[in-house]
Structure 1
């Protein structure tokens, strides 16, 4: 059977927006118990998502619960780490887990992401119910935005209390990551602008900060299995946060679970295999825009808003 035919056959199993098909490192179907047993032997598992895709969020919840049960059998602690909360929000997250504040306070005062209730509430509530720590792993959004506007030198302007919210080495290079980032931003073969370099610096600040947060959690909870939730770009091909983690601790057993749309399977198979990366197929989201004029109006407003926010940078 040809690769496109295999992809079509696998895609036939995706009947609803909640359905997914698990694949092993060789893109062959794998059962959930077998995948969990494999992931449970790791030190860190990064589960990538396509933000807002219901299948991603359902899989994350099921894997977290299954890995927690498996870890209990191994007498190992489990820690949940999340891109969706930033370091300065850790106290609010901890207070919520301890029952000191309610969900409305968490959502509004953190603040949580707009899709928190539908996408991340199940993870947080499971952690709260079972006494699992949650690591608010990401770099502060305002600082990342300003790095994107001014570049790496922005960090030098930060007061100590804000500088501590970033990784000690926020711009540590991740091999092959820049090429992937710039290919997405400006296309292959195009000149990389200064603005694109600043955006990459902002991306590195996120990835290095999340990697450092995961390592800090591993020190705080010895022998723990850390399950980290992030957007797929932060961990696919063991780059991004996964790469930054391995740069700091090469001996760690790091596994990655990466989403794919069916029409991307053949392209992915053409790349060098990653034996520590597993995959799951899911249905694509509806197209965000059909009307080009409306799309441009939305983007214009977004850029205007971002420009206004950038004025607040030091």
Structure 2
């Protein structure tokens, strides 16, 4: 779940939002019902914290287009949604060589490349 949806997630977990309000207020992925809802509902039932850790798409897109250094211009509030700066990324992992531009920005070969800054590595999905 995207980090900037933590507030809505907390409201749902605390019973302040019903399922429809949560769904309408958070940007849930298409596979939420099958892949995430059972875990979220488990956390709600057991009163366990559930932490939204994924970088919001707009910052991942910004990074892909403008590079990691562009994140330095984010407001303090926006920076709470990403990993602490500076972010160190290595593309030395086998299979990732050649997937960056001349200035070091990532440029995946398909639209399904996604960057997970919460853990500082690049993961590639093949669909």
Question: Following the alignment from structure 1 to structure 2, what is the Cα–Cα distance between the partners of residues 173 and 112?
Answer: 27
Q: Verify: 1:126 aligned to 2:42, yes or no.
A: yes
Aligned partner of 1:197 among 99, 105, 115: 105
Alignment of 1:92-107 (within 5 A): 92-107=8-23
TM-superposition CA deviations, 1:73-114 (whole Å, max 9, x none): xxxxxxxxxxxx122111111100011111122223211111
1:179 is matched with 93
Distance 1:178 1:206, change over 3 A: farther
- TM-score normalised by L of structure 2: 0.75
Q: Which structure has the higher relative contact order (CA within 8 Å, separation 6+)?
A: 1
Q: RMSD of the TM alignment (CA)?
A: 2.8
Question: Following the alignment from structure 1 to structure 2, what is the Cα–Cα distance between the partners of residues 121 and 110?
Answer: 13
Aligned-partner SS, 2:106: helix
Matched-pair contact (CA < 8 Å) for 1:87–1:139: yes
Question: Following the alignment from structure 2 to structure 1, what is the Cα–Cα distance between the partners of residues 87 and 116?
Answer: 5
Matched-pair contact (CA < 8 Å) for 1:95–1:101: yes
1:208 is matched with 120
Question: Following the alignment from structure 2 to structure 1, what is the Cα–Cα distance between the partners of residues 26 and 94?
Answer: 32
Question: Following the alignment from structure 2 to structure 1, what is the Cα–Cα distance between the partners of residues 85 and 50?
Answer: 23
Distance 1:206 1:141, change over 3 A: farther
Distance 1:99 1:151, change over 3 A: same
Alignment of 1:28-67 (within 5 A): none
Specify every segment of 5 or more residues in structure 2 that has no aligned partner in the other structure, as ranges: 109-113
Structure having the larger proportion of residues in strand? 1
Matched-pair contact (CA < 8 Å) for 1:151–1:197: yes
Structure having the larger proportion of residues in helix? 1
1:86 is matched with 2
Matched-pair contact (CA < 8 Å) for 1:147–1:199: no
Distance 1:204 1:137, change over 3 A: closer
Distance 1:182 1:208, change over 3 A: closer
Question: Following the alignment from structure 2 to structure 1, what is the Cα–Cα distance between the partners of residues 104 and 96?
Answer: 7
How far is 1:181 from its partner?
A: 5.4
Aligned-partner SS, 2:115: helix
TM-superposition CA deviations, 1:169-210 (whole Å, max 9, x none): 352245xx5333524x74xxxxx424873358x72524239x
Specify every segment of 5 or more residues in structure 1 that has no aligned partner in the other structure, as ranges: 1-84, 187-191, 210-232, 235-287, 289-314
Question: Following the alignment from structure 1 to structure 2, what is the Cα–Cα distance between the partners of residues 88 and 118?
Answer: 21
Question: Following the alignment from structure 2 to structure 1, what is the Cα–Cα distance between the partners of residues 71 and 102?
Answer: 17
Q: Tell me which structure has the larger Cα radius of gyration.
A: 1
Question: Following the alignment from structure 2 to structure 1, what is the Cα–Cα distance between the partners of residues 75 and 94?
Answer: 32
Distance 1:162 1:199, change over 3 A: farther
